[in-house]
C-alpha cells in the first residue's frame, strides 16, 4: 500500500497564526500547566530567536522577551483541527490517519486520478497553502519511512520514494528520526544515522535490544509492517472554538466565525456533502448560551456565503453577555452534486440571491421558500406544483436498474421539446391575427398587437382521454416583437389560441 505523510512544522503555532493573523511575525507562546507550573508547549519563530524553548517556564520566557504574548495550549482543539484537515483532503486521499501532534498519514491509492504521486503531493500542498498551512509531504510504502522523511528530510517540499527504495532514502537521516526509547540505545553505541543502524547484524540487534530493537532495526531497513488505520469519521459534523478573550461585539467574533466556517465547509467538501440547516450556539461569559438557527435556500458548502448569512443573522440577535466560545453544528446535509459555473457579466448575482433567500428562510421559517415539484401529469399547467423546499434526494442505482429514466426518442425537433422557464398556472386566451393562408402575422398581448418575428411548430400534445376534460393541443414556439419567445398552443376543442408560458 502506498501512503503519504503530511507534516506541519509546529502545527499549533501555525493554527494560532491562521486564527489570529495579527500574530504574524510577533513573539508568542502556547502554554500548558505541568506540575503546577505554566510551561511553554510551542513558540513562534520570533520567540525562538529570543531564546524561548519548549519546556521553559512562562516566567522565564517573559524575562527573555518582554513583549511576549501567551495563549493556552488545548490538545483537544489541535486534534480537531488535524481531523478537519484530513477530511478536507478526502477528495484527494480517500482515507487518513492522525499522527498527533503535527501530521497526517494519507491513503495515496487514488494518486493516479491526480497525475500520479507527485501530482498528489503538489495538489495536497497547494490546498493546504491556500488555507494558510505550511507543510511537507512524502509518499512511500511504509508508515515510518514516510513520517521520518517528512519530519527530518532536507529536500524540497515533497518527495516520492519508489517501492523498494526505502532503506536507501532513510540512510542519511539522523538517529533522532527514530523518535523512541531505542534511539538512546543506538546512540550509546556511537551510531548517528539510520543507515548505520540498518547495517548492523539483525541477530546482534535482537540479542541486545530485544523485540523493540528488532522492530527499530527493521524500520531503518524499510521493513515497517505497521498497518494503516483510517480515521473513523464522525456522523455529526460539528466545529468548536474557545475564544482567547470574550467578544463583546460582532467584529471580533467574525474571525472566529470564519475559522469554524472554513473548517466545517472544508470537511463538507471532502465528504462531497452540502449543508441544508445549521445550528450556531454562542456560549456566553460567565454562563448561558444562545442558539442561532441557520436555514439555507439551497444546499451549499461555500464558506463565504455562510459567513454572509451568519453575519446578517447575528445582527438581529441580542446577547446578555460577551461571547466566550461558539459551536457550529450541521443539523442536516445532503449529497453535493456540484453547481454549474455562473456565466455572464455578473456571476456574483447568483451568490447574492442565495444569501437573500437564505436570510428569508432563516427569518421567516423553513416553509417560507417553495420549489417546483414534478407531478405525474402530461398536461403542462398540471405538470408541477409548489412545495416547501427540500434538498434533492441522493442518486441511487443505475439506468439499467430502472432508477434513471431512459431518453424517449421523439420525432419532434429538440428545440420544440424545450419548456419555458416561466409557465403560467392557467393558460391565457390569446388573440391571433392570421392570413387567409393560415400564416401567423401578429398576436395581441399586454393590450397591444405584437408582430410575429419567427415561429416553430407544431408539437402536438394530447392525453387524459379517460377524464371529463381531455386535451389535444398543437404547441408553437413564437417569437413576438418586444416580448421574446412565447409558448402558445391551439386547443383542439375550440380552435382558440392560448398563451402557456414565456422563455427566458
Domains 3-26+67-220 and 238-336+354-364 share a fold: no
Q: Would you state the pLDDT for residue 117? A: 94
pTM confidence score: 0.70
Cα dist. 469→462, 464, 472 in Å?
Answer: 11, 7, 10
| CA–CA–CA angle 202, 207, 212 (5° rounding) | 75
Q: Which of 494, 459, 481, 496 shows the shortest CA–CA distance to 380?
A: 459
Q: What is the pLDDT of residue 347?
A: 52
Contact between 78 and 15 (Cβ < 8 Å):
yes
Domain ranges of the chain: 3-26+67-220, 238-336+354-364, 423-502
Q: Which CATH superfamily is domain 3-26+67-220 in?
A: Reverse transcriptase/Diguanylate cyclase domain (3.30.70.270)
Q: Peptide bond preceding 458: is omega within 30 degrees of 0, i.e. cis?
A: yes
d(CA 258, CA 86): 19
**Alpha carbon distance 316, 285 (integer Å):** 20
Q: Scan for cell 446577547, then name that residue.
A: 319
Three-state helix/strand/coil letters over 2-69: CEEEEECCCHHHHHHHHHCHHHCCCCEEEEEEECCEEEEEEECHHHHHCCCCCCCEHHHHHHHCCCCE
- The C-alpha cell of 334 is what? 445532503
The grid coordinates of residue 18 equal 491562521
Can you list the residues of the chain whose pLDDT is less than 70? 338-355, 366-367, 389-417
Average pLDDT, the chain: 85
pLDDT per position as a tens digit, 71-95: 999 999 899 999 999 999 998 999 9
Cell of 420: 419555458
Does residue 487 contact residue 502 with C-beta atoms inside 8 Å?
A: yes
pLDDT of residue 154: 77
Burial of residue 64, with CB atoms counted within 10 A of its CB: 0-12 exposed, 13-18 middle, 19 or more buried: middle
The DSSP secondary structure of 256-314, one letter per residue, reads: HHHHHHHHHHHHHHHHTEEEEEEEEEEEESSS-EEEEEEEEEEEE--HHHHHHHHHHHH
d(CA 121, CA 403): 39
Tell how many helices (H) and how many strands (E) occur in the chain: 14, 20
**pLDDT tens across 192-201, in order?**
999 999 999 9
Residue with cell 399547467: 381
Query: What is the CATH topology of the domain spanning 238-336+354-364?
Result: Dna Ligase; domain 1 (3.30.1490)
Beta-bridged to residue 193, according to DSSP, are 174
Amino acid at each position: 500500500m502506498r501512503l503519504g505523510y503530511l507534516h506541519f512544522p509546529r502545527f499549533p503555532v501555525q493554527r494560532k497564526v491562521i486564527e489570529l493573523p495579527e500574530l504574524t511575525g510577533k513573539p508568542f507562546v502556547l502554554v500548558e500547566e505541568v506540575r503546577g507550573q505554566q510551561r511553554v508547549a510551542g513558540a513562534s519563530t520570533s520567540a525562538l530567536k529570543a531564546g524561548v524553548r519548549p519546556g521553559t517556564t512562562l516566567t522565564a520566557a517573559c524575562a527573555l522577551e518582554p513583549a511576549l504574548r501567551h495563549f493556552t495550549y488545548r490538545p483537544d482543539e489541535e486534534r480537531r483541527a488535524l481531523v478537519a484537515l484530513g477530511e478536507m483532503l478526502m477528495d484527494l486521499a480517500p482515507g487518513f490517519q492522525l499522527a498527533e501532534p503535527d501530521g497526517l498519514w494519507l491513503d495515496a491509492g487514488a494518486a493516479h486520478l491526480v497525475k500520479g504521486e507527485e501530482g498528489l503531493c503538489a495538489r495536497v500542498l497547494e490546498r493546504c497553502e491556500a488555507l494558510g498551512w505550511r507543510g511537507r509531504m512524502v509518499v512511500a510504502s511504509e508508515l515510518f519511512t514516510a513520517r521520518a522523511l517528512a519530519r527530518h528530510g532536507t529536500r524540497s517540499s515533497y518527495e516520492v520514494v519508489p517501492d523498494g527504495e526505502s532503506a536507501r532514502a532513510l540512510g542519511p537521516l539522523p538517529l533522532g528520526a527514530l523518535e523512541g526509547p531505542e534511539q538512546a540505545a543506538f546512540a550509546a553505541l556511537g551510531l548517528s544515522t539510520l543507515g548505520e543502524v540498518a547495517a548492523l547484524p539483525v541477530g546482534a540487534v535482537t540479542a541486545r535490544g530485544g523485540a523493540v530493537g528488532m522492530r527499530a532495526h527493521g524500520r531503518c531497513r524499510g521493513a515497517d509492517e505497521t498497518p494503516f488505520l483510517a480515521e473513523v469519521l464522525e456522523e455529526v459534523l460539528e466545529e468548536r472554538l474557545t475564544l482567547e478573550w470574550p467578544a463583546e461585539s460582532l467584529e471580533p467574533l467574525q474571525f472566529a466565525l470564519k475559522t469554524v466556517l472554513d473548517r466545517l465547509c472544508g470537511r463538507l467538501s471532502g465528504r462531497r456533502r452540502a449543508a441544508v440547516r445549521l445550528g450556531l450556539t454562542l456560549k456566553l461569559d460567565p454562563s448561558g448560551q444562545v442558539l442561532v438557527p441557520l436555514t439555507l435556500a439551497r444546499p451549499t458548502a461555500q464558506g463565504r456565503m455562510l459567513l454572509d448569512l451568519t453575519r446578517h443573522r447575528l445582527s438581529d440577535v441580542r446577547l446578555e453577555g460577551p461571547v466566550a466560545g461558539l459551536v457550529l453544528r450541521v443539523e442536516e446535509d445532503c449529497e453535493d452534486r456540484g453547481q454549474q459555473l455562473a456565466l455572464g457579466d455578473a456571476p456574483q448575482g447568483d451568490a447574492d440571491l442565495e444569501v437573500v433567500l437564505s436570510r428569508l428562510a432563516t427569518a421567516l421559517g423553513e416553509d417560507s421558500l417553495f420549489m417546483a415539484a414534478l407531478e405525474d401529469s402530461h398536461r403542462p399547467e398540471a405538470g408541477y406544483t409548489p412545495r416547501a423546499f427540500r434538498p434533492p434526494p441522493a442518486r441511487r442505482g443505475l439506468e439499467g436498474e430502472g432508477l434513471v429514466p431512459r431518453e424517449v426518442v421523439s420525432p419532434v425537433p429538440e428545440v420544440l421539446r424545450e419548456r419555458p422557464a416561466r409557465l403560467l398556472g392557467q393558460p391565457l386566451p390569446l388573440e391571433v391575427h392570421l392570413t387567409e393562408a393560415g400564416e401567423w402575422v401578429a398576436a395581441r398581448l399586454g393590450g397591444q398587437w405584437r408582430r410575429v418575428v419567427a415561429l416553430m411548430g407544431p408539437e402536438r400534445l394530447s392525453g387524459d382521454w379517460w377524464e371529463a376534460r381531455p386535451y389535444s393541443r398543437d404547441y408553437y414556439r413564437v417569437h413576438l416583437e418586444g416580448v421574446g419567445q412565447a409558448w402558445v398552443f391551439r386547443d383542439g376543442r375550440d380552435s382558440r389560441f392560448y398563451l402557456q408560458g414565456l422563455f427566458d
